[in-house]
Structure 1
Amino acid sequence: MSILNTAQPKPTQVLPYETEDLLDVYTLGRKLGQGDFATTYLCTHNTTGRTYACKSISKKELLCKEDYDDVWKEIQIMQHLSQQPNVVRIHGTYEDSLYVHLVMEFCEGGDLYDRIVKKGHYSEQQAAKLAKNIVEAVQECHSLGVMHRDLKLENLLFDTVEDDANLKIIDFGLSAFYKPGETFSDVFGSPDYMAPEVLHEHYGPEADLWSVGVISYIILSGAPPFWAETEEGTFAQISKGILDFESEPWPTISDSAKDLIRKMLHRNPKKRFTAQQVLCHPWIVDDNIAPNKPLGV
């Protein structure tokens, strides 16, 4: 073998252990979602009849050892967080020659994006409860040394169809374990939700709180705080960090809500609110501050 050939061979397995055949344990049902590398199905346990979600990752899309390692890391992170109430729980992993399957808790309430579209308008009080739910979920992840890195409306699922359903974080494909003080340089995430320090390739877990600030802004107003026709334009808006509190419905939104949004979307990550500070903010804590009238009505 040539000493110049330093490329690592592509593995054949993601999991470092053998598994049963998925279809010996579960029956696959309707498709729940489709991504670039994976398809998620409803599945039913053949013995108990309980329903779950099965994320099937195509191995033909895994082009190198790093891709295989990334899938294994996603599984390890989900297992690490499996006891957290605001994180979708993983129930099993399976692998065959074509796919890696992650069997997870099924959240029948759909994602936050679809709920906002369907509902139309939340009240400030409802928005505050959602923000609290999301921040608690992020705090759970950070307390166990996990940074999500791709928080967005589509990665937050309601566990039931009820109005007071609990939100849970999904999709840890871009997530990372981190240690206090550790910084990252890889640019990951969805453009509208990226923190300025991510664009500058020097960031830590504070970037997740920026994403929650973006999500909270959208819940309140129905539009992202930083947006342009192009990705480059969006990044320029994020770098400027100028918030629009003049357009509707912002004039009718409480000063307390705007104060918290500003503190979550502070351009300096060291001055940005932590999860604990958000949870102690009056808009989150005091039900009497956030009005219960639907916004935009």
Structure 2
Amino acid sequence: MVLELCEQNTLYDRLIESNGGFSEAISASVMKQLLTAIAHCHRFSIVHRDIKPDNILFDEMDRVKLADFGSAVWVAEEGTVDVWSAGVVLYAMLAGFPPFYGETVEEIFEAVIRGNLRFPPKVFRNVSPEAKDLLRKMICRDVSRRFSAEQALRHPWILSGGETVSMV
């Protein structure tokens, strides 16, 4: 696989520089591009399996490029594991930190297994209900209820570019 050159300009770097996360508009723009890339892979039954800020690059025009397909596999499933990971990335973009944390690797693993998605009021007080709704649908423990990349792309929050809209 040949990819275009993107200088070391990752989402991880931008999150560190942001010192607390991004606006909903910026987060929605990045997420729409990421979900489009994921949906494209899934249409060809390719699951990336390593979606994380380090593997999300930006070119000189600030377009998102998904990188590091070393863990990618062809599978017969729809690849909702990538949507879970993209949801974790979205949470980090909005909050400035990941949704699951712990002092040790084991504690983090346990937090992921429990899957209790929380929105600390101090951090999420200015985050719209629509963004939280999308997060709940992407970071859903029940795989049968978790959004696909295509479903996430049709969510009102993504379609509105992160603007507050009525979901009714």
**Does TM-score exceed 0.5, indicating one fold?**
yes
In 2: Cα distance, 1:232 partner to 1:241 partner: 14
Long gaps (5+) in structure 1: 1-77, 79-89, 91-103, 182-203, 292-297
Q: 1:288 to 1:205 in 2, by over 3 A?
A: closer
Q: Which has the larger radius of gyration?
A: 1
Task: Tell me the equivalent position of 1:141.
Answer: 41
Q: 1:131 aligns with which of 13, 18, 31?
A: 31
> What is the 5 A alignment of 1:25-44?
none
Percent of pairs with identical residues: 38
- Select which of 155, 158, 174 maps to 2:71: 174
What is the correspondence of 1:1-297 to structure 2 with a 5 Å cutoff?
A: 78=1, 90=2, 104-108=3-7, 110-120=9-19, 121-160=21-60, 162=61, 165-179=62-76, 181=77, 205-287=79-161, 289-290=163-164
Task: Pick the structure with more helix per residue.
Answer: 2
In the aligned structure 1, how far is the partner of 2:162 from the partner of 2:119?
Answer: 22
The structure with the largest strand share of the pair is: 1
Compute the displacement of 1:157 (Å). 0.5
Three-state SS of the structure 1 residue aligned to 2:49 is: coil
Letter in 2 for 1:256: E
Distance 2:34 2:162 in 1: 20
**Superposed CA offset, 1:191-222 (max 9, x none):** xxxxxxxxxxxxx6111100000000000000
Greater relative contact order (CA < 8 Å, ≥ 6 in sequence): 2
TM-score (norm 1): 0.52
CA RMSD across the alignment: 1.8
- Could you tell me the TM-score, scaled by structure 2's length? 0.91
Q: Is the 8 A contact 1:260 1:283 kept in 2?
A: yes
Amino acid at match of 1:136: T
Aligned length: 164
Runs of 4+ in 1 over 3 A off after TM superposition: none
